[in-house]
Amino acid sequence: MELLKKLCLANGTSGEEENIRDIIIEEVKDYVDEYKTDPLGNLICVKKGTGGGKKIMYAAHMDEIGVIVTVIDDKGFLRFSNIGGINPYNMVHRKVRFKNGTVGVVSFDADTKMGELNLSKMFIDIGAKSKEEAEKYVQIGDSASLVSEFVDLNNHVSCKAMDDRAGCYCLIEAVKKNLRTENDIYYVFTTQEELGLRGATTAGFNVDPDFAIAIDVTRTGDIPEAKRMAVMMDNGVCIKIKDDGIISHPYVVNYMKECAKKDNIKYQLEVLEGGRTDSGAIHLTRSGVKAGVISIPSRYIHSPSETVSKKDLEECIKLIVATEKYQFKEAF
Ligand code: CO
Ligand code: ZN
């Protein structure tokens, strides 16, 4: 879990993924034939096939949700906006950390009725006494990540940014299995997913794959009074059928199911109401791409305590590896 912990604790809000990219390059560079960073910051790693194969793209996003400073008031309090989907209630009295190490406590205007909380009523307190003093540490447009601890919860682990460092972690572990097949494999670590799949949009166009699979977290239906959903923690990795951004291609779905059966991988089928992944952008690239998604069940998504199951992570790695191994041939 050390690599996952390192990935989660590193900060990389959308558009500022360089810390994450550096960690990933160190991890994968000895296992791929080439890698490059594109203008949007996507890290595109290529493992060449032995020839005559297809082009396969795997994608996991490096960015995490966060906040961005909009106004610094006379007393030195920072007003902020969201980077990605931020629930104001998840932010109350949490701490955020800026790139230069400045930490702030998030609170809200004292006259706010709890049911009416929104980001415009919230501020960040960095301990400055004036606008002038605050400006020594923070500028308009600076972004910050949630402060969180990586904790072991028996079967589960919890931290900020599991969305989608858990996916990055599984993809890195798959790269390290070092399979060589006839297919050219593109392992892509994307940027700005949380702002609308932006990195995946250009990376998908660039790679122009025959098949694509995104790896990302998904919700579960197993916490008290949860919104109805069949996905459960510890019940295996998910093969996505549908979310708000894609209907997974039936070829890819069937292929993934066969891979799972062949390698004894515990999986569950996923229909996610609300939410999208990088495959939503990739499958609409050029003339269209046959795409699917491997999802990791996660509780408390977009909070400082995103939680995943150690067992599900293992199954996720196994499924990625199996999809590589069987080379996207449906009848094997
Ligand atoms: Co997300
Ligand atoms: Zn995600």
Q: For residue 332, what pLDDT is reported?
A: 67
Give the pLDDT score at 107: 98
C-alpha span between 157 and 146 (Å, rounded): 17
The CA 326 to ligand 2 mean position distance, Å, reads 26
What distance, in Å, lies between the first and last C-alpha atoms of the chain?
A: 33
**Ligand of minimum distance to the alpha carbon of 59:** 2
Output the tens digit of pLDDT for each of the chain's 332 residues: 999 999 999 999 999 999 999 999 999 999 999 999 999 999 999 999 999 999 999 999 999 999 999 999 999 999 999 999 999 999 999 999 999 999 999 999 999 998 999 999 999 999 999 999 999 999 999 999 999 999 999 999 999 999 999 999 999 999 999 999 999 999 999 999 999 999 999 999 999 999 999 999 999 999 999 999 999 999 999 999 999 999 999 999 999 999 999 999 999 999 999 999 999 999 999 999 999 999 999 999 999 999 999 999 999 999 999 999 999 998 66
pTM: 0.97
Centroid of ligand 1 to alpha carbon of 65 (angstroms): 7
> Per residue, what are the HEC states of the chain?
CHHHHHHHHCCCECCCCHHHHHHHHHHHCCCCCEEEECCCCCEEEEECCCCCCCEEEEEEECCECEEEEEEECCCCEEEEEEECCCCHHHHCCCEEEECCCCEEEEEECCCCCHHHCCHHHEEEECCCCCHHHHCCCCCCCCEEEECCCCEEECCEEEECCHHHHHHHHHHHHHHHCCCCCCCEEEEEEECCHHHCCHHHHHHHHHHCCCEEEEEEEECCCCCCCCCCCCCCCCCCEEEEEECCCCECCHHHHHHHHHHHHHCCCCEEEEECCCCCCHHHHHCCCCCCCEEEEEEEEEECCCCCCEEEEHHHHHHHHHHHHHHHHCCCCCCC
What residues are neighbours of ligand 1 (ion), with CB under 5 Å?
163
> For residue 60, which ligand has an atom nearest its CA?
2
Q: Are 11 and 165 in contact (CB under 8 A)?
A: no
How close is the Cα of 62 to the center of ligand 2, in Å?
Answer: 9
Ligand nearest to the CA of 62: 2
Please tell me the predicted confidence (pLDDT) of residue 117: 96
Q: In this predicted structure, what is the pLDDT of residue 28?
A: 98
> Is the torsion defined by CA of 12, 159, 121, 124 positive or negative?
negative
Could you give the count of Cα atoms lying within 13 Å of 245 in the half-sphere of its Cβ? 21
Q: Which of 17, 193, 194, 270 is catalytic?
A: 193
Ligand 1 centroid to Cα of residue 64, in Å, is: 7
In the reported structure, the alpha carbon of residue 300 is separated from the centroid of ligand 1 by a whole-number distance in angstroms of 11
The CA angle 105-108-113, to the nearest 5 degrees, is 150
Query: Does the annotation count 193 as an active-site position?
Result: yes
**Which numbered ligand comes closest to the C-alpha of 83?**
1
Q: Which domains does the chain have, with CATH numbers?
A: 2-64+160-325 (3.40.630.10), 66-146 (2.40.30.40)
Q: Please name the residues in contact with 1: beta carbons below 8 A apart, sequence gap of 6 or more.
A: 150, 152, 157, 310
In whole angstroms, give the CA distance from residue 297 to residue 279. Answer: 17
Distance 48 CA to ligand 1 centre (A): 30
Structure tokens at 166: 């858990």
The pLDDT, as a whole number, for residue 258 is 97
Q: What is the pLDDT of residue 330?
A: 81
